[in-house]
Amino acid sequence: MSGLSYAVREVGGIPVVSAPAEIDIANSGEFRSVLLNAARMSPTIVVDLSGTEFCDSSGLSVLVRALRRAQADGGEIRLVARTTAVLRILSVTGVGSIFGIFASLEEALAKPPPELAPAP
């Protein structure tokens, strides 16, 4: 374990996971555990990457797995991403196209969870 502390709070029934400054092979297992625990609260999770400056392929893999699990449970993973490095890795890998990406935590929380969204 990396010894990092992950803040997890609930806002309006949605867990918000604050990611560390770096997500890599050294802490991706711990990050995965935090997301699994958050999924026990709700199938929809907001991952706040606004302070994350680096994310390698192991971090992306954790996010994609969490998304698949959330979708299987009728939820979603919303990413708050603002740093150039994180936005770039999401774009270059194509991973960003499968997530809802928001510029702020407020925007990510403003969208109703899938189960509450009105039918088109």
pLDDT of residue 2: 46
Contact criterion met (CB below 8 Å) for 39 and 73: yes
Q: Which CATH class is domain 7-110?
A: alpha beta
Give the pLDDT means over successive 10-residue stretches in the chain (120 positions): 71 95 96 96 96 96 97 96 96 95 96 60
C-alpha separations of 105 from 14, 15, 48, 56, 111 in Å = 12, 12, 7, 22, 11
Instruction: Identify the pLDDT of residue 111.
Output: 82
Q: How far, CA to CA in Å, does 50 sit from each of 54, 58, 72, 85? A: 11, 18, 26, 11
CA 49, distance to chain mean position in Å, is 7
**Domain range list for the chain:** 7-110
